[in-house]
Amino acid sequence: MLGTANATAEPLELALYARDAGVAEGHAVAVCWPATGAQLAAAVRVARAHGRPFVVRGSGTGLAGGATPLGDPVVIVTTRLDRILEVDARSRVAWVEPGVLNLDLSRAVRHLGLHYAPDPSSQQACTIGGNVGTNAGGPHCLAYGVTSAHVLAVEVVLPDGEVALLGGLAPDEPGYDLRGCFVGSEGTMGAATRIAVRLTPDPPEVATMLCAFASVEDAAATVSETIASGVLPAALEMMDAPITRAVEDFVGAGYPRDAQAVLLVEVDGLPAGVAEQAAQVEAIARAHGATAVRTAADEAERALLWKGRKSAFGAIARIAPDYYLHDAVVPRTRLVEVLGEIARIAAAHRLLVMNVFHAGDGNLHPLIVFDGREPGTWQRVRAAGTAILEACLDAGGVLTGEHGVGVEKRDLMPRLFGPDDLDAQARLRDAFDPDGAANPMKVLPRGSRCGELQRVPEGTWI
Amino acid sequence: MDLTPLQEAVASARTVVAVGARTQWRIGEPVAPDAAVVRAPAGVVRHEPADMTVTVGAGTPFGDLDRVLAAAGQECPLDPADPRATVGGVLAAGLSGLRRLRLGPLRDLVLEVRVVLGDGRVVKGGGPTVKNVTGYDLPRLYVGSLGTLGVLAQVTLRCRPRPTVSRWCRAPEPPPAGTRPSAVLWDGERVQVCFEGVRADVDAQCRGLPEIDGPVLPAGAHRGRISVPPGAVRPLAASLAALRGLRWCAQLGVGTVHVATDDVPALVAAREAAHAHGGWLLCEQGAPGLPAFGRPLPNAALMRRVKDAFDPDGKFAPGRLPLAGAPAAGARA
């Protein structure tokens, strides 16, 4: 049905799909590129008929190994499913195929005064289908919510090959929120073939501010007080000194090189509310010793400020050949102490860590930069990464805010969830995928099902 | 919060129904009358104003929660019609309030749930932070589950700044583009609109419009809630307007249409109109004997498997959700 041109088992091609943008590596037995939803469904059925699991992937920008093929699966690539099927400006809904790139959707509806709100840093490259898989976030999710808040319905191929429409355009579909279960399930509940997303009207007024500080503590305290004061910014991003300088060298966004930390704050809405909130943010920043507060004068300056933030990861290449990007969330009231702890951990492991993150919702992205060619470095990077996650959990945080669990954090799940909690999650997954055929060995560690460890393996001599 | 009494009550009963304030008791099919009544604990466990999160016992009346949050200049827009409704009840019923247009649906407000399962175990899903994708999304699964997957015992909710001004106005037509209403209600003749925010913005949007005390929704002995794609509201309205004795009011931009009547046949006809426009009519009040949903639930087989995964003995709210192949209540107890 797919034709030989759209599927391969050539070892060299398979190797290209052995991992995503994370570090975990796997192995696919075949890769295919369906061009229609029916072909995607057929690919799932063919894989199952041959006793193979399947892994669906978009652009492979995921950082947690969610698209790493484990269990010798068939990899189904959605990049050819890249059509925007329908845009209903009046109802503010678009139907898209899973391979549509995140930014392409916003570009396609810009002339209507609309956009697609979730805006991960990889939005030029990542697909909406992949965003649905990880329940992706982005700077503007602070006010507008992560992917799940923007997905109204998903047509999916369930792991048994059946096609089902989960959710719908009507506001209250009766029964369980299967759509909500599917979004963020990291490909373990089936494959999306069509997605209905909510489009967000562009705000009538936007103010984008850059606040510079002489210490990370002052910046973090400004974040906490801004949230506590009742301002709900559209975005509230923080960058520490090393990343600020790297970005400035890279794109010349006008960030102050002497600052120890900068905040990029955006407030939007109606004119008076924007003016009031911008004034509030500025007052709070100045009360915490901001050395400079600058508001973008026009759209060009605003775009430049954002370009700096979104180029952060590209800028790292100028400092060291490798980086390991983490993703964890802590309560916003604990930012100051957790950032201090991260600095201590990095120092103890003789590593450079940079921080560029969604401060407004406590979503940390500690970035360890290093040269992997130096012997022993990887071990230190891994040890420091685990210690950082532990510190976040100890502060009442969670393992991931937007990248997903994948394989990277799978075995840390018991740090956050007890055996009964994991058992419940495993039961939910099994309801969708009783054979464990969809993206096996992801999200939940082995032994999540109650009694799983006690079960006598098939063929055991007893 | 001590959940032990609830755990024991659940574990020792053959079938169980969690009860809040019974303000939305008509939602879903009737529960088997012999199910043991249990109640989730009430009280605010922890409000973190600087994090804008609040943890409460699911039995907490919404009004109590709202008072605590208001004292800190915050709110959690669960927005039940009756403030005596409990947090757990509102979430289990899953019906969003009138401000959904701007503030989003209920399901996006829940960060963490603690649920008592049939054998008395407590299961946690989600997490306490405002952003979290760690593991499967149990909080959203429980919103709208009508108490059929376990008893919601304790929840952590997202809060937001309480608007300085919140004002309802009457208007001749829906507000123009460029405004940011929290709700736009339309009954075919007039519009009721809610604006919120700082005073200058609210004043500018309300200019020339008469202020009203609050929204008026259709009244009647028998009430229902239609849910259609938002683009279908106007064609649906044309069908509803032709029904004698039916009063209706639509949430424009959302797709929820509140209907009320004193004659059950009018509600039945409204349901047929809803189906014709790709939607549903859920019975909310009265209408004795009228099926709660009116059509088989979508994906019932998959929902059945989810139900069995969390409630293998059919212990919770037996009868509430009509899923094919239901085991007899308490079959394996």
pLDDT value at B333 more than 50: no
Contact across the interface for B229 and A168, Cβ inside 8 Å: yes
What is the H or E stretch that residue B225 is in?
strand B222-227
Contact B91, B58 (CB under 8 A): yes
- Closest in B129, B199, B307 to A397, CB measured: B129
Residue written as token pair 């096609």: A163
Nearest to B229 by CA among A93, A195, A201: A93
pLDDT band at A454 (very low <50, low <70, confident <90, very high): very low
Pull the structure tokens for residue B60.
């907490």
How high is the mean pLDDT of chain B? Answer: 95
Strand partners, A267: A207
Helix, strand, or coil here: B4? helix
Would you list the domain boundaries of chain A?
4-77, 84-201, 205-314, 320-394
Q: How far apart are CA B296 and CA A41, in angstroms?
A: 25
Of the pLDDT bands very low, low, confident and very high (cuts 50, 70, 90), residue A461 is: very low
Inter-chain contact B131–A329, Cβ cutoff 8 Å? Answer: yes
Separation between Cα atoms, residue A411 and residue A405, nearest integer Å: 9
Structure tokens at A65: 């190994």
A-chain residues near B130 (CB < 8 A): 329, 332, 361-362
C-beta atoms of A175 and B321 within 8 A: yes
Q: Report CA B177 to chain centroid distance, whole Å.
A: 28
From the list A93, A171, A178, the residue facing B96 with the nearest CB is: A171
From A149, A271, A398, residue closest to B132, measured CB to CB: A398
SS3 B280: strand
CA-nearest residue to A90 within chain B is B231
Report the DSSP pairing between strands A191-198 and A151-157: antiparallel
DSSP class of B316 = B
Q: Which of A174, A405, A423 sits opposite B134 (nearest CB)?
A: A405
**pLDDT tens across A72-91, in order?**
999 999 999 999 999 999 99
SS3 of chain A? CCCHHHEECCHHHHHHCCCCCCCCCCCCCEEECCCCHHHHHHHHHHHHHCCCCEEEECCCCCCCCCCCCCCCCEEEECCCCCCEEEEECCCCEEEECCCCEHHHHHHHHHHHCEECCCCCCCCCCCEHHHHHHHCCCCCCHHHHCCHHHHEEEEEEECCCCCEEEEECCCCCCCCCCHHHHHCCCCCCCCEEEEEEEECEECCCEEEEEEEEECCHHHHHHHHHHHHHCCCCCCEEEEEEHHHHHHHHHHHCCCCCCCCCEEEEEEEEECHHHHHHHHHHHHHHHHHCCCCEEEECCCHHHHHHHHHHHHCHHHHHCCCCCEEEECCEECCHHHHHHHHHHHHHHHHHCCCEEEEEEEHHHCEECEEEEECCCCCCHHHHHHHHHHHHHHHHHHCCCECCCCCCCCCCCHHHHHHHCCHHHHHHHHHHHHHHCCCCCECCCCCCCCCCCCCCCCCCCCCCCC
For residue A204, list chain B residues with Cβ-Cβ distance below 8 A. 178, 180
A4 pLDDT higher than 70: no
B204 contacts on A by Cβ (under 8 Å): 270, 272
Q: Do residues A437 and A55 make contact, with C-beta atoms less than 8 angstroms apart?
A: no
How many angstroms away from the CA of B25 is the closest CA of chain A? 15
B254 vs A contacts (CB less than 8 Å): 171
Q: Do A270 and B201 touch (CB under 8 A)?
A: yes
- From chain B, the residues in CB contact with A180 under 8 A are 107, 137, 140-141, 143
Nearest-Cα distance to chain A for B43, in Å, is: 22
Fold of A4-77: 3.30.43
Residue B325 has pLDDT above 70, yes or no: no
Predicted local distance difference test score (pLDDT) of residue B65: 98
> What is the per-residue pLDDT for A1?
64
Averaged pLDDT, B84-109? 97
A314 touches chain B (CB under 8 A): no
Q: Does A112 touch chain B (CB under 8 A)?
A: no
Average pLDDT, chain A: 93
The answer to whether B66 and A242 are in contact (CB under 8 A) is: no
Q: Tens digit of pLDDT for each residue in B147-185?
A: 999 999 999 999 999 999 999 999 999 999 889 999 999
Q: What is the largest CA-CA distance in chain A?
A: 77
pLDDT of res. A313: 81
Mean pLDDT, residues A422-444 taken together:
97
CB spacing of A333 vs B53 below 8 angstroms: no
- Would you call A419 an interface residue with chain B, using a CB distance cutoff of 8 Å? no
Size of interface A-B (CB pairs under 8 A): 248
Beta bridge partners of A197: A94, A151
A437, B147 Cβ separation under 8 angstroms? no
| B84/chain A closest Cα distance in angstroms | 22
For residue B50, what is the nearest residue in chain A, using CA coordinates? A228
* Chain A residue with minimum CA distance to B119: A420
Would an 8 Å CB–CB cutoff place A111 in contact with chain B? no
Q: How far is CA B234 from CA A173, B238, B241, B295, in A?
A: 19, 7, 10, 22
Q: Residue B332 above 80 pLDDT?
A: no
Question: Which of B134, B143, B154, B254 is the best residue to mutate to test the A interface, defined by the most A CB atoms within 10 Å of its own CB?
Answer: B134
* pLDDT number for residue B187: 96
Mean pLDDT of B302-329: 87
Contact flag B299-A444 (C-beta cutoff 8 Å): no
Token pair, residue B206, equals 């309300």
Distance (Å, whole) CA A129 – CA A183:
10
The pLDDT assigned to A457 comes to: 42
Rounded Cα distance between A296 and A300, Å, is 8
Inform me whether the C-beta atom of residue A24 falls under 8 Å from chain B C-beta atoms: no
Average pLDDT over residues B200-219: 96
Helices A271-287 and A216-228, interaxial angle, to 10°? 140
CA distance to partner chain A, nearest, from residue B262 (Å): 24
Q: Provide CB contacts within 8 A for A20, sequence distance 6+.
A: A57, A60, A61, A62, A63, A65, A66, A67, A68
How many CB atoms sit inside 10 A of residue A17's CB? 21
Q: Mind telling me how many Å the CA of B307 is from chain A's nearest CA? A: 9
- Which residue type sits at B86? T
Please count the CA atoms within 13 angstroms of the CA of B310 that sit on its side-chain side.
30
Contacts of B94 in chain A (CB under 8 A): 172, 177
Mutation target for A interface from B53, B99, B102, B131: give the one with most A CBs within 10 A: B131
CB contact under 8 Å between A148 and B204, yes or no, is no
Would you mind telling me the total number of residues written for chain B in this entry? 333
* The two three-digit tokens of residue B107, written as one number: 């399901």
Selected residues 30-69 of chain A with any CB under 8 Å from a CB in chain B: none
Interface of A with B in 127-186 (CB under 8 A): 134-135, 137, 141, 145-146, 148-149, 158, 164-166, 168-178, 180-181, 183-185
- In tens, the pLDDT along A225-271 reads 999 898 999 999 999 999 999 999 998 999 999 999 999 999 999 99
Q: Output the CATH code of domain A320-394.
A: 3.30.70.2740
Tokens found for residue A432: 């969708």
Chain B CB within 8 Å of residue A451 CB: no
Q: Do A232 and B123 touch (CB under 8 A)?
A: no
The reply to whether residue A175 touches residue B300, judged by beta carbons under 8 angstroms, is yes
| Tokens matching residue A437 | 């055929």
Using a CB-CB distance cutoff of 8 angstroms, which residues of chain B are in contact with residue A88? 231
Say if CB A135 and CB A402 are below 8 A apart: yes
Structural class in CATH, domain A205-314: alpha beta
Sheet holding A54-57, edge to edge: A7-8, A30-32, A74-77, A54-57
The residue of B130, B145, B227 whose CB has the most chain A CBs within 10 angstroms, and thus the best one to mutate to test that interface, is B130
**Tokens found for residue B173:** 């037509």
Q: Distance between CA A184 and CA A199 in Å, rounded?
A: 19
**Mean pLDDT (whole number) for B8-15:** 98
Please name the residue that has the structure tokens 């929120």: A177
Look at residue A5 in the predicted model and tell me its pLDDT. Answer: 67
pLDDT tens-digit readout, B109-152: 999 999 999 999 999 999 999 999 999 999 999 999 999 999 99
Question: With an 8 Å Cβ cutoff, is A204 touching chain B?
Answer: yes
What is the spatial distance between Cα A137 and Cα A146, in angstroms, rounded to a whole number?
Answer: 5
Does the domain at A84-201 match CATH 3.30.465.10? Answer given as yes
Measured in whole angstroms, the distance separating CA A204 from the mean position of its chain's CA atoms is: 27
Q: How many CB atoms sit inside 10 A of residue B287's CB?
A: 20
- B321 contacts in chain A (CB < 8 Å): 175
Per-residue pLDDT at B318: 97
Q: Can you tell me the distance from the alpha carbon of A299 to that of A312, in angstroms, rounded to the nearest whole number?
A: 20
CB contact under 8 A, B227 and A172: yes
Q: Write the pLDDT tens digit of every residue in A199-215.
A: 999 999 999 999 999 99
Contacts of A279 in chain B (CB under 8 A): none
Q: Which of A172, A182, A425 to mutate to test the interface with B (most CBs of B within 10 A)?
A: A172
Whether the per-residue pLDDT at B326 is higher than 60: the answer is: no
CA distances to A56, A444, A455 from A447, in Å: 24, 8, 10
What is the reported pLDDT for B331? Answer: 42
Cβ distance B109 to B76 under 8 Å? yes
Hey, do A205-314 and A320-394 end up sharing a CATH topology, with the first three levels equal?
yes
Tokens of B289: 């004997």
Best probe of the A interface among B129, B151, B164, B202, by most A CBs < 10 A, is: B129
From the number of C-beta atoms within 10 Å of its C-beta (0-12, 13-18, 19+), residue B244 rates as exposed
Residues of B with Cβ-Cβ distance to A429 under 8 angstroms? 136
